[in-house]
């Protein structure tokens, strides 16, 4: 996102902003929100609100996956801004900073020119944690996901090694933009090849969970879920584009897994797929939820003071999913978990120290989203269980839909709860950006 150099401060605040500054500010703000992973219908709502606040209530705004168009009035010139130049998505600390900027616009505390300078600073902000700590975060995250998958002690040991490899691999290839499309393929191939080679050896019991845990970090769970949300909101172009993009990432992972299987061979495929599970204890998934939150905090540079809120939101969604599975079954468990996750994330946003909802519930998708089920379905083909693989992938698609519906239902339920809370204590309302 090429931004202009520093502009002169506006001594009059936002009362009469320069139309060119306002238009550019809306373009850059929309680009940042797109890169943060916000759904396009929400982005358009936010940008219309900002435009109206600065004196352009009739602004025309269109947001698409790779660009957005802004016109300040009917018949006025329109400007187009490509969003792919941000190269991926913003970290959690950057996302929080963008939403804090949104709050400043609603409070009239910043001019469009100053907002442009602030966005420039946010986009080029370095990670909060140094590279060694981010690599350690990948290890922590992989171990957390492995615990959720009901592992053995051997699985945990391999998860540490594979998590370290993935963290170093991502760090080494971070600046090679041309390689980003094939990084998941290479990682899937190497991790799968190592797992199969160890499984064929008799001195170690490597199984599917050790392989799945590090590869889940490449799963586009949030992208696929957001795609379904956008399709439900009649945003067909963006929703379909995200769906295709997320599906392509899954196919790339699948290619790496199958390619490694054909190269190394699968002498003990049945044992790998049907290995004993959870030799650690029933507490493993519950500890895994907290460790996933810590891993996300380190890898994605969570904003200061947000770790406790991340743990709260993830545990709320995880607990709701667990109870929903006991009472209603697998498909409805994802729906219940997503509803509770969304409501708690927006309630946390109301707190003075709470991060934006997008920051706290995006990590929750890796607890709820069935990315691991998709990979398990693909991997079951290695044991020539084609029926089982197809069945698992269909289950993954059904769970994805249930999670998306949970997000769709969770937001209006939160808004109804918010209105009731505001009537009871209007003086303490902090103004949600949702």
Tell me how far apart the 2 most distant CA atoms of the chain are, in Å.
75
138 and 100 in a common domain: no
Q: What is the pLDDT of residues 120-162, one digit of tens each?
A: 899 888 888 899 999 999 999 999 888 887 777 888 888 899 9
Closest by CA to 431, choosing from 46, 23, 51, is 46
DSSP secondary structure of 253-288: HHHHHHHHHHHH--TTHHHHHT-----S-TTHHHHH
What per-residue confidence (pLDDT) applies to 205?
Answer: 66
pLDDT in the model for residue 13: 44
β-bridge mates for residue 79, sequence order:
70
What mean pLDDT comes out for the span 368-393?
52
Residue 348 domain-assigned (yes or no):
yes
* pLDDT tens string 75-84: 778 887 777 6
Tens of pLDDT along 351-378? Answer: 888 888 888 877 777 677 644 454 555 5
Q: Tell me, yes or no, whether 336 and 234 share the same domain.
A: yes
Evaluate whether 88 touches 34 at the Cβ level (below 8 Å). no
Residues 178 and 289 in one domain: yes
The top-scoring range by mean pLDDT among 91-95, 106-110, 411-415 is: 91-95
Q: Residue 417: inside a domain, yes or no?
A: yes
Among the residue ranges 28-37, 236-245, 392-401, the one predicted with the least confidence is 392-401
Handedness of CA 66, 72, 76, 77 (dihedral sign): negative
d(C-alpha 63, C-alpha 47), whole Å? 10
Is the pLDDT at 401 greater than 80? The verdict is no
Per residue in 274-306, pLDDT (tens digit) is 455 556 777 888 888 899 999 999 998 888 888
Q: Where are the alpha helices (DSSP H) in 174-219?
A: 183-200, 208-215
Strand partners, 70: 61, 79
Q: Considering only residues 89 and 427, tell me which one the structure prediction assigns the higher pLDDT.
A: 89
Domain enclosing residue 71, as ranges: 19-123
296, 307 Cβ separation under 8 angstroms: no
**Do 113 and 155 share a domain, yes or no?**
no
The predicted pLDDT at position 372 comes to: 46
Q: Nearest to residue 141, comparing CAs of 395, 87, 149? A: 149
Same domain, residue pair 91 and 230 = no
pLDDT in tens, 412-431: 888 888 888 777 765 444 44
Taking residues 394-407, report their average pLDDT: 70
What does the pLDDT read at residue 429? 43
List of residues 6+ apart from 203 with CB closer than 8 A: none
Q: Are residues 168 and 79 in the same domain?
A: no
Tell whether the torsion through CA atoms of 308, 310, 311 and 312 is positive or negative. positive
382: DSSP letter:
G
Do 168 and 299 touch, CB atoms closer than 8 A? no
Summary mean pLDDT of the chain: 78
Residue 172 has pLDDT above 50, yes or no: yes
The Cα–Cα gap between 240 and 251 comes to 16
For residues 201 and 91, state if they share a domain: no
Q: Which long-range contacts (CB under 8 A, 24 or more apart) does 399-402 make?
A: 399/330, 399/331, 399/334, 399/369, 399/370, 399/373, 400/224, 400/225, 400/228, 400/334, 400/369, 400/370, 401/228, 402/331, 402/332, 402/334, 402/335, 402/338
The answer to whether residue 14 is domain-embedded is no
Residue 155 located in a structural domain: yes
| pLDDT > 60? residue 95 | yes
Q: Do 109 and 160 fall within a single domain?
A: no
Q: What is the pLDDT of residues 186-234, one digit of tens each?
A: 998 998 888 888 776 655 666 677 788 888 888 777 777 778 778 877 7
Domain assignment of residue 150, yes or no: yes
User: pTM (2 decimals)?
Assistant: 0.81
Q: Which of the given ranges, 69-73, 263-267, 369-373, 376-380, has the highest pLDDT on average?
A: 69-73
The verdict on 377 and 326 lying in the same domain is yes
- Stated as kind and residue range, the H or E segment containing 349 is helix 330-349
Q: Which of 70, 97, 123 is the last residue of a domain?
A: 123
Most trustworthy range by pLDDT among 183-197, 226-240, 254-268, 319-333: 183-197
SS3 239: helix
pLDDT, position 379: 55
Is 6 part of a structural domain of the chain? no
User: What distance in Å separates the CA atoms of residue 378 and residue 386, rounded to the nearest whole number?
Assistant: 9
The confidence score (pLDDT) of residue 1 equals 47
Higher pLDDT pick, 24 / 406:
24
Contact (CB, 8 A) for 188 and 258? no
- Overall domain count for the chain: 2
């Amino acid at each position: 996102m090429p931004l202009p150099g520093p502009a002169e401060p506006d001594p009059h605040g936002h009362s009469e902003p320069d139309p060119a500054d306002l238009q550019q500010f809306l373009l850059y703000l929309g680009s940042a929100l797109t890169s943060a992973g916000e759904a396009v219908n929400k982005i358009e709502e936010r940008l219309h609100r900002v435009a109206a606040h600065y004196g352009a209530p009739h602004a025309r705004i269109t947001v698409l996956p790779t660009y957005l168009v802004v016109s300040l009035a009917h018949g006025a010139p329109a400007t187009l801004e490509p969003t792919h130049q941000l190269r991926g998505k913003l970290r959690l600390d950057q996302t929080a900073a963008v939403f804090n900027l949104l709050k400043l616009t609603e409070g009239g505390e910043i001019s469009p020119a100053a907002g442009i300078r602030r966005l420039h600073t946010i986009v080029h902000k370095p990670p909060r944690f140094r590279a060694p700590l981010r690599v350690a975060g990948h290890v922590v995250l992989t171990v957390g996901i492995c615990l959720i998958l009901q592992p053995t002690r051997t699985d945990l040991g391999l998860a540490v090694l594979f998590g370290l490899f993935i963290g170093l691999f991502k760090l080494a290839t971070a600046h090679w933009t041309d390689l980003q499309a094939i990084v998941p393929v290479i990682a899937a191939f190497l991790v799968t090849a190592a797992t199969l080679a160890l499984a064929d050896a008799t001195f170690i019991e490597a199984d599917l969970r050790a392989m799945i845990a590090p590869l889940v970090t490449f799963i586009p769970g949030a992208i696929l879920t957001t795609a379904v949300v956008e399709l439900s909101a009649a945003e067909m172009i963006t929703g379909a584009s995200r769906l295709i993009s997320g599906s392509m990432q899954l196919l790339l992972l699948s290619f790496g897994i199958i390619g490694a299987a054909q190269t190394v061979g699968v002498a003990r495929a049945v044992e790998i797929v049907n290995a004993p599970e959870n030799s650690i204890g029933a507490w493993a998934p519950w500890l895994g939820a907290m460790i996933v939150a810590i891993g996300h905090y380190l890898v994605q540079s969570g904003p200061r003071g947000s770790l406790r809120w991340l743990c709260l939101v993830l545990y709320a969604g995880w607990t709701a999913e667990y109870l929903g599975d006991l009472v209603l079954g697998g498909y409805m468990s994802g729906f219940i978990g997503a509803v509770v996750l969304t409501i708690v994330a927006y309630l946390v946003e109301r707190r003075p120290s709470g991060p934006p909802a997008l920051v706290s519930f995006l990590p929750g998708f890796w607890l709820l989203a069935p990315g691991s089920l998709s990979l398990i379905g693909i991997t079951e083909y290695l044991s020539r269980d084609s029926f089982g693989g197809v069945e698992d992938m269909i289950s993954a698609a059904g769970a994805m839909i249930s999670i998306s519906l949970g997000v769709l239902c969770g937001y209006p339920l939160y808004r109804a709860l918010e209105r009731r809370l505001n009537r009871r204590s209007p003086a303490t309302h902090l103004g949600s950006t949702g």
